[in-house]
């Protein structure tokens, strides 16, 4: 971050002298090949045209003025069609250690969010059964995204939308009621589309413990109501616990029912009608989403008088925007992707810009064991719950596995592989790097070699080998990685960075003795460097919600 910022401001100064702005398409990034220096920019190729110059000519004149402007630049080369390849001095890179040790847990944070209010709504599973592994992926993605956005300077709020109104809740109540009657010897016929999982039987038993058989004497409607609210509350408590155990916190639990009961849905529908965006046809109320790019108009209220989910979803998003969020991010299972155009159309109809709603799709998780797929279905009642999976493989391994793919590709989650302590399962590789450093400091303390209090330039001067510089350069990139992860809503990039950093650390460790280095000064310099690595690893893992162990 420091290097890019520095180079960019130098180039901007050149532009300012000529009264020009930074060209949109110009970029500065580390080149793939080290021999092209620390940073490469296509600046001259992009900027040459408006100046009426040839790219290479501009590059050559920049080369001279850059070197004259900043002593941190060791080398500036012109290459190919007009690339500028810039190499910073080792002293410049060593300042990274000082910076990290000063910023500590703030290293990797940035202000790119500019305090904008952003909401991340995720999981939001119907409270009709326990969370399964697919919800776990959504939970991990949403939680890591929220952490990443927060670190990037957004004002983030996390939320779980509870679908506690409507048909699914009635089915849940009916399912529990059926199991309850069955439990007490009443002959029952199983309803259609009911929840037949084991957990419903457990609910019926819990209900019995609380109420005995008294529900059998109630009017059926009343008994159903008791079953429904009891089941929902119990399941919701279970979901909350599962999420807490998975280190996922939602700040707001938003009830659909409360929205309906407060009349918010009716109000939103009324607004739409008034603005001519909703109309009656065939006895139903329709939302004119087609004019906002949807395939066709959608029903808000069925001819039966019942509201559709879409109606309350629109009212819910209306409510979100009224609460002042600049952007709301919804994390959905990929099977809902067909729903995006109509939601975006709806958001536009509400008077917001299309991109105030960002939908992140999370693809399917194939739960496997030893290469064989485990079938999952809430309805059929055969699934491994998130809680079961976490109990088996641990929070760290599960979260890291979820963050090791971009959310948009399907993920095979093999319980045997996730438990395995190999590079198939990189969480251990990264954690091991952190533990190694910690244990090295423990050993240093035993030997009476405490870490220097300050990372002064003269102390760090011994860091001048190629491995030192590789590590320093990688450390310096961490703030860029977190900023980009936030900008592109891709927290998985952090896990890839951490693997790289861990790899570089392991290489360094193998090649450079730290506590037995030639001179006391060099010992200090290397300890400070490794301390900076540990801080960066810890900060990165924190963004993923994974622990950085001292020992393994």
**Which of 368, 515, 522, 542 is in the footprint of RNA by CB under 7 A?**
515
219-228 LR contacts (CB < 8 Å, sep 24+): 220/177, 223/177, 224/170, 224/173, 224/174, 224/177, 225/173, 227/173, 227/174, 227/176, 227/177, 227/180, 228/169, 228/170, 228/172, 228/173, 228/176
Q: How far apart are CA 479 and CA 482, in angstroms?
A: 5
**Region of residue 497 (phi > 0: left; psi between -120 and 50: alpha; otherwise: beta):** alpha
Judged by CB under 7 A, the chain residues 265 through 304 that form the site for RNA are: 281-284, 295, 298-299, 302-304
**Which of 63, 85, 459, 539 is in the footprint of RNA by CB under 7 A?**
85
CB 43 within 8 A of CB 50: no
Q: Smallest distance, Å, CB 30 to RNA?
A: 10
Q: Smallest distance, Å, CB 208 to RNA?
A: 27
Output 208 or 255, the one with its CB closest to RNA: 255
Check binding of 440 to RNA (CB under 7 A).
yes
Sign of CA dihedral 135, 237, 309, 189: positive
Q: Which stretch binds RNA (CB under 7 A): 4-12, 455-463, 486-494, 532-540?
A: 486-494
Check binding of 254 to RNA (CB under 7 A).
no
Q: Would you say how long the chain is, in residues? A: 552
Output 342 or 352, the one with its CB closest to RNA: 342
**Which of 399, 499, 531, 538 is in the footprint of RNA by CB under 7 A?**
499
Check binding of 114 to RNA (CB under 7 A).
no
Output 76 or 101, the one with its CB closest to RNA: 76
Strand order in the sheet with 357-362: 252-255, 155-162, 117-121, 327-333, 357-362
Q: How far apart are CA 86 and CA 30, in angstroms?
A: 9
Helix (H) or strand (E) run with residue 407 in it: none
Over the window 344 to 383, marking each residue x when it contacts RNA by CB under 7 A and - when it does not, the resulting string is -----------------x-xx-------------------
Structure tokens at 121: 């709504």
**Which of 12, 168, 208, 229 is in the footprint of RNA by CB under 7 A?**
168
Judged by CB under 7 A, the chain residues 177 through 216 that form the site for RNA are: none
Query: Which residues lie closer than 8 Å to 308 by C-beta, 6 or more apart?
Result: 298, 299, 300, 301, 302
Q: Smallest distance, Å, CB 225 to RNA?
A: 18
**Which of 429, 460, 537, 548 is in the footprint of RNA by CB under 7 A?**
429
**Which of 202, 251, 424, 464 is in the footprint of RNA by CB under 7 A?**
424
Sign of CA dihedral 463, 469, 473, 478: negative
Output 18 or 551, the one with its CB closest to RNA: 551
Check binding of 438 to RNA (CB under 7 A).
yes
Q: How far apart are CA 549 and CA 131, in angstroms?
A: 28
Check binding of 309 to RNA (CB under 7 A).
yes
Query: Which residues lie closer than 8 Å to 233 by C-beta, 6 or more apart?
Result: none
Check binding of 391 to RNA (CB under 7 A).
no
Q: Smallest distance, Å, CB 363 to RNA?
A: 6
Q: Which stretch binds RNA (CB under 7 A): 10-18, 221-229, 331-339, 346-354?
A: 331-339
Q: Smallest distance, Å, CB 41 to RNA?
A: 8
Output 375 or 510, the one with its CB closest to RNA: 510
Query: Which residues lie closer than 8 Å to 218 by C-beta, 6 or more apart?
Result: 226
Q: Smallest distance, Å, CB 207 to RNA?
A: 23
Output 157 or 425, the one with its CB closest to RNA: 425
Structure tokens at 499: 């693997």
Check binding of 338 to RNA (CB under 7 A).
yes
Output 99 or 420, the one with its CB closest to RNA: 420
Q: What is the DSSP letter of 214?
A: G
Helix (H, G, I), strand (E, B) or coil at 381: coil
């Amino acid at each position: 971050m420091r290097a890019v910022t520095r180079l960019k401001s130098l180039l901007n100064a050149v532009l300012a002298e000529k009264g020009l702005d930074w060209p949109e398409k110009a970029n500065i990034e580390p080149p793939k090949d080290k021999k092209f220096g620390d940073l490469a920019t296509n600046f001259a190729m992009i900027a040459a045209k408006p100046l009426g110059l040839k790219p290479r000519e501009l590059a050559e004149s920049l080369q001279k003025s850059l070197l004259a402007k900043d002593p941190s630049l060791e080398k500036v080369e012109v290459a190919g069609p007009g690339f500028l390849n810039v190499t910073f001095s080792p002293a410049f890179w060593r300042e990274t250690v000082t910076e990290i040790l000063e910023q500590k847990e703030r290293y990797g944070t940035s202000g790119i969010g500019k305090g904008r209010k952003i909401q991340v709504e995720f999981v939001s599973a119907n409270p009709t059964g326990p969370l399964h592994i697919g919800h776990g992926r959504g939970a991990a993605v949403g939680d890591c995204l929220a952490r990443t956005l927060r670190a990037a300077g957004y004002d983030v709020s996390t939320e779980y939308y509870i679908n506690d109104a409507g048909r699914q809740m009635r089915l849940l109540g009916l399912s529990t009621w059926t199991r309850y009657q069955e439990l007490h010897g009443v002959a029952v016929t199983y309803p259609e589309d009911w929840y037949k999982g084991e957990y419903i039987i457990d609910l019926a038993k819990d209900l019995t413990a609380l109420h005995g058989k008294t529900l059998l004497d109630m009017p059926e409607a009343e008994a159903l109501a008791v079953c429904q609210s009891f089941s929902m509350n119990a399941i919701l408590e279970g979901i909350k616990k599962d999420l807490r155990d998975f280190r996922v916190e939602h700040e707001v639990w938003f009830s659909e029912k409360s929205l309906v009961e407060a009349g918010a849905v009716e109000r939103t529908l009324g607004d739409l009608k008034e603005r001519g965006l909703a109309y009656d046809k065939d006895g139903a109320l329709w939302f004119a989403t087609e004019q906002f790019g949807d395939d066709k108009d959608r029903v808000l209220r069925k001819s039966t008088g019942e509201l559709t989910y879409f109606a309350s979803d629109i009212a819910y998003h209306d409510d979100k925007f009224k609460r002042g969020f600049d952007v709301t991010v919804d994390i959905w299972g990929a099977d809902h992707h067909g729903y995006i155009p109509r939601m975006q159309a709806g958001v536009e109809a509400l008077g917001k810009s299309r991109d105030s709603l960002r939908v992140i799709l999370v693809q399917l998780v194939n739960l496997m064991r030893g290469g064989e797929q485990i079938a999952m279905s809430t309805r059929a009642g055969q699934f491994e719950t998130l809680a079961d999976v976490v109990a088996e493989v641990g929070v760290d391994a599960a979260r890291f596995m979820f963050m090791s793919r971009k959310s948009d590709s399907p993920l095979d989650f093999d319980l045997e592989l996730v438990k395995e302590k190999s590079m198939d399962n990189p969480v251990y590789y990264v954690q091991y790097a952190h533990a190694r450093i910690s244990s090295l400091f423990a050993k240093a303390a035993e030997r009476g070699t405490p870490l220097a209090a300050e990372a002064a330039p003269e102390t760090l001067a011994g860091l001048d080998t190629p491995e030192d510089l590789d590590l320093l350069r990688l450390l310096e990139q961490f703030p860029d990685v977190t900023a980009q992860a936030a900008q592109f809503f891709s927290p998985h990039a952090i896990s890839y960075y951490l693997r790289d950093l861990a790899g570089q650390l392991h290489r360094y460790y193998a090649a450079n003795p730290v506590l037995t280095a030639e001179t006391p000064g060099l010992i200090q310099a290397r300890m400070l460097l490794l301390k900076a690595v540990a801080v960066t690893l810890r900060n990165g893992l924190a963004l993923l919600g994974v622990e950085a162990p001292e020992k393994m």
